Structure 1
Amino acid sequence: MARKQSDYLAALLSDEAETAAPVPAVPEETKVAEPAPSPAPGRSDRARGTTLLGRESALARLASGEVRQVTQLLLDPAKVRIWTGNARHQALLNEENCRELIDSIIAEGGQKVPAVVRRIEGDPEHDYEVIAGTRRHWSISWLRANSYPDMMFVAQVAQLDDEAAFRLADLENRARKDVSDLERARNYAEALRTHYGSHLTRMAERLKLSKGWLSKMIKVAGISDAIIDAFASPADVLLKPAYALAQALDDARAAPAISSEASRLASEQRALRAAGASPIAASDVLKRLLDAPRVAQSAPRQEPYSWTTRHGRPALTVQSVNRQGVTIRLHAGSGADVEMLTQALRDTLEHLEQQGMGLQR
């Protein structure tokens, strides 16, 4: 961790320590403690005196608050839930992206770096929730279910309100490459409303972030899932190009074309996944989305879709397609009965869907 982030973390924990209540008693089977070494036989009185003075000094520093005792627990991960304010999506964690951490825990005989949790009440199934250490929690849970049933989740208990918990989780996630820009952006957008009353300046000051950079993250968070589905994975949505896309979507004239192209891209990505083929690269997806308004404007205007009977008479014509809906005209004198008109309507809706102009877009 960089020195600047380390200083920020120390300040965050020390702020909470000033108002922290006494740490709850640790269950007997979960205490992590090291017994004080006994004096070696034959030690001189002078050495014993020095040891006693050292202990008294350490106790005095602890009592004065200069040194803070930290309690670590060995917990069953099943009794610990994930705090909803964390940016990392627990559903996206799997054996593959946690493999390195799993191997490290096995090699070291257990989890060496404790997670940060806080005690919760009113939940009969859980005693704590994870503020920082989601991957460690998932990995220990996986190990317990796969040949290591005695593996315990090591955690440090902290007393944090939601805003302080968010700052702590954010600090840990900043250095994590497996937390995507989109995950962080949406996490920031939610925190802006929940913890900072939608005051961007205050949030930037509390997180020690650039207001301009944070503003871009909030902007990216507003991109809808319908557009994100055009990418092979949400992790492909990077801040800089995604910000340009978010700006383009602000144009009321460009947005429909971008949305239509996103729908086509999403269908193509699903087909490629089903076939086991490589997905469309993020750079190509972005280019197609940003080019969509220009392509739509330069494309020749299509004739209105018309459904005709076997006698060549138009029975149904699409008059307009826009964001409000589809306007359809049923022609009198076409000779089509109710069954034929019903089939005409089905064919028309299917045609519009294939063209990216359906009612589900």
Structure 2
Amino acid sequence: MARKQSDYLNSLLSDDMETTADAPEETTPSPVAPNRTERARGTTLLGRESALARVASGEVRQVTQLLLDPARIRIWAGNARLYAHLNEENCRELIDSIISEGGQKVPAVIRRVEDDPEHDYEVIAGTRRHWSVSWLRRNNYPEMQFVAQVAHLDDEAAFRLADLENRARKDVSDLERARNYAEALKSHYDSHLTRMADRLKLSKGWLSKMIKVAGIPDSVIAAFASPADVQLKPAYALAQAMDNRDAAKAITAVARRIAAEQKALREDDTPPLPAPDVLKRLLDAPTAHVEKPEPYSAASRHGRTMLSIQSANRQGITLRLHAGSGANEEDLLQAVRSALRFLDDNGKGLKP
């Protein structure tokens, strides 16, 4: 963690952690000459008194770490990370680390909750650690404990702490963070962007772009293979285009068609449309010619179009099989099935 972020974290938690004043255990002295032993004992006692005095004065704090059952701990709703998106695959490295080290080494940050008979705490920072320990307890490590330290934090301070941890996490998508910021702007900062940027030590211009991206509707996000594909810089251009009512209508219509294509590709275990291609089609939607669009086309493994829908009406469906695509018979049959499913999803299929 960079020094600037480390200082920010220390200042955020310095007055909020639950602490104890337990002195360190005294070690047994080695069998040395009496005068050396006495000097060592005197030094140890002075060290203990000095340490206790520093703790009592508040100069030094020792943070209490708890060993807990993760089932008694819920996830704070204000965190950007979506718990439902965590799985064994994207937590595998952390799971292996916990196993190899004999337990969780980096404590999570939690706070107490009230009026919830099923939970005693909630996670502010450490969502992946909570998921990984929970998974290990279900998979051959029932004795594994969740290591956490308790902090007294209001919602705004909790948000700042969670945000700080998530900033360097590659598996927290730009869209997740953007929507988290947009919610926090209303909940914690009364929609004052400048105040929020100052509290988070962020550029106001960058934060403004994140809030803008958060406004892209789910119907458009559905065109992408995954919400994680929605990156800040290209998504900001899309969010700006949505400001125009006519453009937004065209983009939404194209997004619905792309989403149907993505669904058909998933059902056929075919790689999804890449994010740059999806973005280009969405941005081109307001100015695209609409005289005779092809509602669906399928590419072969060589990247060439092998099938397209020419028309679909009450009289029937016309499909075109393209020569020179390099597709074999099985590829074409699969493409036909995908095209028919696409038409069914859009109300233009053969089903009555």
TM-score by length of 2: 0.81
CA distance in 2, matches of 1:271, 1:4: 47
Equivalent residues of 2:29, 2:37 under 8 A apart:
no
Higher-Rg structure is 1
Question: Is it true that 1:97 corresponds to 2:90 in the alignment?
Answer: yes
Task: Write the distance in 1 (CA, Å) between the matches of 2:157 and 2:211.
Answer: 20
Q: CA deviation at 1:33?
A: 10
Match of 1:180 among 173, 189, 202: 173
The alpha-carbon deviation at position 352 of structure 1 amounts to: 11
Partners of 1:74 and 1:4 in 2: CA distance: 30
Structure 2: how far apart are the matches of 1:210 and 1:274?
42
Give yes or no for the alignment of 1:37 onto 2:27.
yes
Q: One-letter code of the match for 1:60?
A: A
Distance 1:300 1:175 in 2: 47
Matched, 1:203 2:196: yes
Deviation, structure 1 residue 123: 0.8
Distance in 2 (CA, whole Å) between partners of 1:150 and 1:187 is: 34
Quote the offset at 1:300 in angstroms: 2.4
Q: 1:307/1:140 Cα in 2 relative to 1: closer, same or farther (>3 Å)?
A: closer
SS in 2 for 1:254: helix
Structure 1 match to 2:3: 3
2:23·2:48 contact (CA, 8 Å) conserved in 1? no
Q: Name the amino acid aligned to 1:199.
A: H
Q: Report the CA distance between 1:102 and its aligned residue.
A: 0.2
> Against the structure 1 CA distance between its residues 87 and 45, is the aligned structure 2 distance closer, same or farther, given a 3 Å change threshold?
same
1:136 alignment partner, SS class = helix
Displacement after TM superposition at 1:353 (Å): 3.9
Would you say the 8 A contact 2:67–2:148 is kept in 1? yes
Q: Distance in 1 between matches of 2:158 and 2:61?
A: 19
- Where structure 1 has 5 or more consecutive residues not aligned to the other structure, the ranges are 25-31, 309-349, 356-361
CA distance in 2, matches of 1:149, 1:34: 31
State the distance in 2 between where 1:207 and 1:138 align: 26
The 2-side partners of 1:175 and 1:256 are apart by 35
Give 4+ residue runs of structure 1 displaced > 6 Å after superposition: 305-308
Q: Does 1:282 align with 2:272?
A: no
Query: Contact 2:260–2:345 at 8 Å: present in 1 too?
Result: no
Given that 2:136 and 2:142 are in contact with CA atoms closer than 8 Å, whether structure 1 keeps it comes out as yes
Pick from 136, 140, 143: which aligns with 2:129? 136
> How far 1:251 moved relative to its partner?
0.6
What is the CA–CA distance in structure 2 between the aligned matches of 1:102 and 1:255, rounded to whole Å?
43
2:221 aligned residue: 228
The answer to whether the aligner puts 1:299 opposite 2:311 as a matched pair is no
Superposition TM-score, scaled by structure 1 size: 0.79
Question: Which residue identity does 1:219 align to in structure 2?
Answer: K
One-letter code of the match for 1:224?
Answer: P
**C-alpha distance in structure 1 between counterparts of 2:239 and 2:192, whole Å:** 21
Q: Deviations over 1:287-309 (max 9, x none)?
A: 000001111xx33289xx9989x
Q: Which residue pairs with 1:237 in the alignment?
A: 230
Counterpart of 1:268 in structure 2: which amino acid?
A: E
CA distance in 2, matches of 1:85, 1:39: 51
Per-residue deviation, 1:36: 3.6
Aligned-pair distance for 1:34?
6.9
Using the alignment, how far apart are the partners of 2:345 and 2:139 within structure 1?
50
Q: For residues 301 and 266 of structure 1, what CA distance do their matches in structure 2 show?
A: 20
For these two proteins, the number of residue pairs brought into alignment is 300
Q: Distance in 2 between matches of 1:110 and 1:87?
A: 25
Identity among equivalent pairs (%) = 73
- 1:236 CA drift (Å): 0.1
1:261–1:217 CA distance, 2 compared to 1 (3 A): same
Q: Which amino acid aligns with 2:70?
A: P
SS at match of 2:129: helix
Are 1:263 and 2:248 counterparts? no
Tell me whether 1:64 sits opposite 2:53 in the alignment. Answer: no
Q: Find 1:214's aligned residue among 207, 212, 218.
A: 207
CA distance in 1, matches of 2:13, 2:37: 41
Letter in 1 for 2:140: S
Cα deviation code 1:244-267 (max 9, x no counterpart): 000001111211110010000000
Quote how far apart the aligned CAs of 1:279 are: 0.2
Equivalent residue runs for 1:148-167 within 5 Å? 148-167=141-160
1:11 Cα deviation after fit: 1.1
